[in-house]
Amino acid sequence: MTTTLITGANKGIGFETAKQLVELGHTVYIGARDTERGEKAAADIGARFVQLDVTDDASVSSALARIGSDEGSLGVLVNNAGILANEALDGPAALRAFDVNAVGFVRVTEAALPLLRKSANPTVVTVSSSMGSFWAVTNPDRAEYRMPLALYAASKAAATMLTVQYAKANPGIKFNAVEPGTTATDMTAAFGIGRSAQDSAKVVVRLATLGVDGPTGTLQDESGVLAW
């Protein structure tokens, strides 16, 4: 039985990923910063809830300690929690964007590494974004070219780079970043765009269920490898 932790999994793409991995037989921990929302989401799909705010070191370490004492190892970590951070372009907004989208990855991954190393096929998926691809945002043929989401794009570029650096430093663990596809969630509600979270979660699930010889250090979308 594979134990899986997904951050920010009380709704959206994270929740649908949790649902699909439960259906595949994983023991899934829904990491959510809000206890009520997290417990409800976990109960809805037969997952477990663990309180986890990716901006709070104490919350992260107690979440991983709980999984360690209950399960002994962690097979899959999905770093999914993210914010758009488009309310302002100033110092506090930049700190918030990087705290959740990039520093959160470091906090959770560092706390999870000892448990990942105890798994037979450890896999980390970063739900990043093609908005963090230099290739996409400088390519006039791509929709990302016309999206002025500076803090989101820069913090997702950082998340993708962290994924690559962790892959290089940890050859026994697969680390891949994914662009799940434009999805209708609370994050994109103001734009009225995107497909269902169920469809986008399939892209995340594919990278979360790679075999031992699967790729590492890549950025992918549903068509395969995405340019940096």
One residue of 3, 5, 8, 220 binding ligand NAP per CB under 6 A: 8
Look up residue 43 and give its amino acid. A
Q: What is the DSSP letter of 143?
A: G
13 is a contact residue toward ligand NAP (CB under 6 A): yes
Q: Which residues ranging from 109 to 168 are in contact with ligand NAP (CB under 6 A)?
A: 127, 129
72: left (phi over 0), alpha (psi -120 to 50) or beta: left
183: left (phi over 0), alpha (psi -120 to 50) or beta: beta
CA-nearest of 74, 75, 81, 9 to 39 is 9
**Dihedrals φ, ψ of 208, to 5°?**
-80, -10
One residue of 45, 93, 187, 210 binding ligand NAP per CB under 6 A: 187
Nearest approach, Cβ of 53 to ligand NAP (angstroms)? 4
Residue 99 or 121 with smaller CB distance to ligand NAP? 99
45 is a contact residue toward ligand NAP (CB under 6 A): no
> Which residues sit at the interface with ligand NAP, rule CB under 6 A?
7-8, 10-14, 33-34, 37, 52-55, 80-83, 100, 127, 129, 179-180, 182-183, 185-188, 194
